[in-house]
Amino acid sequence: MQAMVLAQAGERLALEERADPEPGPGEVRLRVLACAVCRTDLHVVDGDLREPRLPLVPGHEIIGVIDRLGAGVTSLRLGQRAGVPWLGHVCGHCAYCNAGRENLCDEPRFTGYTRDGGFATHVVAEAAFCFPLPDLPRASVPGGPQDGLLDAVHAAPLMCAGLIGWRALKLAGDHVRELGIFGFGAAAHLITQIAVRRGIRVHAFTRAGDLAAQAFALDLGAASAGDSGAAPPCALDAAIIFAPVGELVPLALRAVRKGGRVVCGGIYMSPIPAMDYALLWEERELVSVANLTRDDAREFLAAAAATPLFVEARSYPLPQANEALADLRSGRIIGAAVLVPWTGT
């Protein structure tokens, strides 16, 4: 197999030839068709997240085809197309697992962080954390009717940007009608479409002057788009912050109404500045999203199977993983960056 490997935080990934991995009991091996690049991969590579298994193959938005079954696997079959997300293992017996909150498991393992991920031609994953993919309808224009199915490149961003976006949207609450989204990248572009189809008015906030991202948000059905420092056009019921920027927390709290909720959707955020208590007063809530549960994945894939999605993705050959990371870091990407390990797929 070939893999892009992180030897030390802060270094470039290096292309390595390795022996093909063999799945252990309860595991499967997938031939990777596509693996999207998530902002979390940047935080791993840059050393913001401090406990990676090193050396590491990053990547946790994987679409692949199952090409080998480990002992005892009956839930998946050879040749099946499946997705592999960030959550790669839970203990199954801690207080959180027992309470249905496996996203907070005390002894988790994460794909592309504490186990090898999908910046590679092959990946091994626990069968219980692989999701057979339904047919995922594609829209050729935002909000448009179905026009075929999402291919692997365009399905890959669903496996984290979509999933975490979904969990963030759920945490925003059931009765949200006016929703702010701060940071308009891969997650925002997917979840905006799902929110709009549910009758939610989305207000996009981007870094100051990012007119391309604002125009993209409006194309996707957002009711308004502007700079993150600008006042919203109406009081928001909730806001989701996808950008890893702590300064956005007081801005988002200021934009939500009494009793409104601000959801931080990222795994990492720069420090949150000191702020007046008045921003939190009147029962505003500030929460974070940590990881995902397998139920989130099943729910989101069912929602995606019922919603033709327009997915903006730029593909890169696997050896150009460093370039994809650099483009994501600099904000040059609209939508998602996706690595493709095999030419012709």
Q: Which residues bind Zn ion (CB under 5 A)?
A: 38, 40, 90-91, 94, 97, 105, 160
| Least distance (Å) between residue 256 CB and Zn ion | 25
- Where b means 16+ CB within 10 Å and e means fewer, 277-287 reads eebeeeebebe
| Least distance (Å) between residue 104 CB and Zn ion | 8
Nearer to Zn ion, 94 or 303 (CB): 94
| Least distance (Å) between residue 218 CB and Zn ion | 25
User: Which of 167, 168, 158, 169 has the alpha carbon at shortest distance from 136?
Assistant: 158
Nearer to Zn ion, 113 or 216 (CB): 113
Nearer to Zn ion, 156 or 225 (CB): 156
CA–CA separation, 203 vs 154, rounded Å?
24
Nearer to Zn ion, 192 or 224 (CB): 192
| Least distance (Å) between residue 60 CB and Zn ion | 6
Nearer to Zn ion, 102 or 210 (CB): 102
| Least distance (Å) between residue 196 CB and Zn ion | 23
- CA 221 from chain centre, in angstroms, equals 20
Nearer to Zn ion, 15 or 91 (CB): 91
| Least distance (Å) between residue 38 CB and Zn ion | 3
| Least distance (Å) between residue 295 CB and Zn ion | 15
| Least distance (Å) between residue 105 CB and Zn ion | 3
Nearer to Zn ion, 158 or 309 (CB): 158
Nearer to Zn ion, 91 or 280 (CB): 91
Are the CB atoms for 138 and 309 separated by under 8 Å? yes
Nearer to Zn ion, 69 or 181 (CB): 181
Are the CB atoms for 313 and 157 separated by under 8 Å? yes
- Where b means 16+ CB within 10 Å and e means fewer, 43-70 reads bbbeeebeebeeebbbbbbbbbbbebbb
| Least distance (Å) between residue 336 CB and Zn ion | 10
